[in-house]
Amino acid sequence: MASATPMQNLANAVGQHGLVRFIEHYAREFPNAHLKDLIVDKLGPNREMEVDGRHVINFGSDSFLGLDQDPRVKSAITKGAEAWGSHNGASRAFASVRSNEVAEAKLAYWLGTEDVLIYPSVTLANMGALPGLVTKRDLLIIDEHAHNSMQEGAKIAQANGVRVVMFRHCDPNDLQRAFDEAAEYRVAVVAIDGVYSMTGALPPLAELNQVCLRNNAILYVDDAHATAVLGCQGRGTVLDALGNYDNTLVVGSLSKGFSCYGGFIGCAKEFKRMLKIRSNTFIFGGPVPPSYLDAICVVCDILVSPEYEEIHGRLRRNVRHLVAAAEAMGLIVLGGETPIVSILVGEEEMTLGAGKYLFEKGYYVQSVTFPAVPYHGGVLRIQVNANHKPESIDGLLAVLVEVSKKFGFPRSGGNIAA
Ligand SMILES: Cc1ncc(COP(=O)(O)O)c(C=O)c1O
C-alpha cells in the first residue's frame, strides 16, 4: 500500500489542530446557520448587499462613515492608478512614492502627532513595531483581550527573548500587579486596544496611563476601531482621554473608518526613523498601493473639514436609535459608545440560529461565538454605518423583536425573554 505523501501528512496534521476541528464541527453541526465565508456579488450605496441571489442590508461593515461609497474617494483611487499604476512593487525601505510622504504629513496634521508612519495594515504595524520596540532587557505587557495582531507581535518579541506578561482585561490594578511581579527591566511597553472590537468596550485609558507613568512604561494603543470615528474630528480615543500623546504610541487603521487601505503609527519623528529600521514587516514587505494613499489624503481633508460633523452626525443618530430601541426591548447591549453594537445571545447554537434568522429576513449581522468571545457568550455583532438608511435600522429592529422572542435572548433584568 502506497504510504501517504508529505503533503497528505501535513494536511492530516493541520486538520488535527483543535481550532480546525472545532470550526469544522460547527460547520457540520449547523450547516445552514454557519454564515461564514459568504461570497458577495453586489454592493449598493446604502449597504445593500447581494449574497447567493439574496438581497440583504449589510450590518457587518467596518467602513463606519460610508466613505467607501464617496465619489471623491473613489475618484482619487482611479486617478491615483492612472498616475502611478496599480502598485509600487518594492519595499519602502528602498523607495517610497511621494504620496506616502504627503499622506503621512496629512495624517499627522489631522491626528496631532509630530509624525506618522504608514504600514500596509494594522496587523503588520503591530507585528512589526511591537517586537521592534523592545529587547531582552525590556518588558512587554499586554491586555489579555488585546487584538490578535498584538498577541502575535508579542509572540515574536517573546521568541526574541523579551519578557511578555499579560494583565486582566482593562484592569489598572492588575496592570500594577504585573509590574510589581516583574523582575528589573530597562523600560516597558503596555499594549492595549483603544476599542475592543468584539464587544465595543473602551479601556480606562487615563488610569492605565497613570500606572504606566509610575512604572517607567509607555502605552501602545491599537485604536483601529476608533480611527475616524471616535474623538474630536475622529482622532480616536487617546487625545480626548489623555490630552496629549506624550506617553503613547497610537496605532490607527486606514481600512475601517477611513475606507481606504493600511494602518499607521502616530509618533514623534525620532520614533518614525527608528521604527523604519526596527519593523521587519515594514522593511521586508510591500507598501500600500499609491492610489490608496491619494484616497487617504482625500479622507484626511474630509475629517478636518466641517463636513465631518454632518457625516458623523448621521452615524451617531443611527447608533443612538439602534441602542436606545434595543435597550428598550430589554436586550443586553454591549458597547454602544462606538458603532459596534453587540447584543448578547449566549449559547452558540442560538447565536448562529439568530444570525441566520435575521439573514433570511434581509439583515446581515455577524454571529460571533467562541473563541472570539467567551464560551456560551455568543453575540450578534451589529456594525452601524453613516450610510445606513434610518428605515434599514428600523427594519433590523423589527426583526430583532421577533428573533429575540423566538430564541429567548437574555434580558437586562436577568430573566429570559417571554
Ligand atoms: C484592534 C484591531 N487591530 C487590528 C485589526 C486588523 O487590522 P488590519 O485589517 O488593518 O490588519 C483589527 C481588525 O478588526 C482590530 O480590530
Residue 175 pLDDT > 80: yes
Nearest residue (by CA) to ligand 1, atom 14, is 197
* Residues 189, 74 within the same domain: yes
* Residue range 281-289: mean pLDDT, rounded: 96
pLDDT band at 374 (very low <50, low <70, confident <90, very high): confident
Kindly state if the Cβ of 151 falls inside 6 Å of ligand 1. Answer: no
**Residue 159's domain is classified under what CATH number?**
3.40.640.10
* Residue range 167-191: mean pLDDT, rounded: 97
Kindly give the distance from the C-alpha atom of residue 413 to the centroid of ligand 1, in angstroms, as a whole number.
Answer: 34
- The answer to whether residue 228 is domain-embedded is yes
- The answer to whether residue 415 is domain-embedded is no
Q: b/e per residue, 363-391, with b = 16+ CB within 10 A?
A: bbbbbbbeeebeeebbbbbbbbbbbbeee
* Residue range 76-92: mean pLDDT, rounded: 95
Contact assessment for residue 256 and residue 268, using Cβ atoms and an 8 Å cutoff = no
Residue 361 pLDDT > 90: yes
Kindly state if the Cβ of 121 falls inside 6 Å of ligand 1. Answer: yes
Spatial separation of the C-alpha atoms in residues 196 and 82, rounded to whole Å: 38
Residue 76 pLDDT > 80: yes
* Residues 108, 178 within the same domain: yes
pLDDT band at 414 (very low <50, low <70, confident <90, very high): low
The reported pLDDT for the residue numbered 416 is 39
Spatial separation of the C-alpha atoms in residues 271 and 405, rounded to whole Å: 53
- The answer to whether residue 291 is domain-embedded is yes
The reported pLDDT for the residue numbered 355 is 96
* Residues 252, 358 within the same domain: no
> For residue 286, which of 322, 315, 262, 317 has the smallest C-alpha distance?
262
* Residues 262, 132 within the same domain: yes
Give the residue, out of 64, 124, 170, 197, with the most ligand 1 atoms within 8 A of its beta carbon, to mutate for a pocket test: 197
Last residue of one domain, picked from the residues 265, 280, 303: 303
**How many structural domains does the chain have?**
2
Contact assessment for residue 120 and residue 263, using Cβ atoms and an 8 Å cutoff = yes
**Residue 343's domain is classified under what CATH number?**
3.90.1150.10
Give the residue, out of 61, 149, 373, with the most ligand 1 atoms within 8 A of its beta carbon, to mutate for a pocket test: 149
Q: Which residues contact 76 (CB under 8 A, 6 or more apart)?
A: 291, 294, 295, 297, 298
Distances (CA, A) of 417 to 354, 358, 368, 413: 14, 17, 20, 10
Quick one: cell of 401?
423583536
pLDDT band at 1 (very low <50, low <70, confident <90, very high): low
The reported pLDDT for the residue numbered 417 is 37
Q: Which residues is 334 bridged to in the sheet?
A: 342
- Looking at the chain, the whole-number percentage of residues with pLDDT higher than 70 is 98
What are the two backbone dihedrals, phi and then psi, of residue 413, each rounded to the nearest 5 degrees?
-75, -5
* Residues 319, 362 within the same domain: yes
The reported pLDDT for the residue numbered 205 is 98
**Boundaries of domain holding 145:** 70-303
* Residues 197, 98 within the same domain: yes
Kindly state if the Cβ of 383 falls inside 6 Å of ligand 1. Answer: no
- Looking at the chain, the whole-number percentage of residues with pLDDT higher than 90 is 87
Residue 204 pLDDT > 70: yes
Residue 418 pLDDT > 60: no
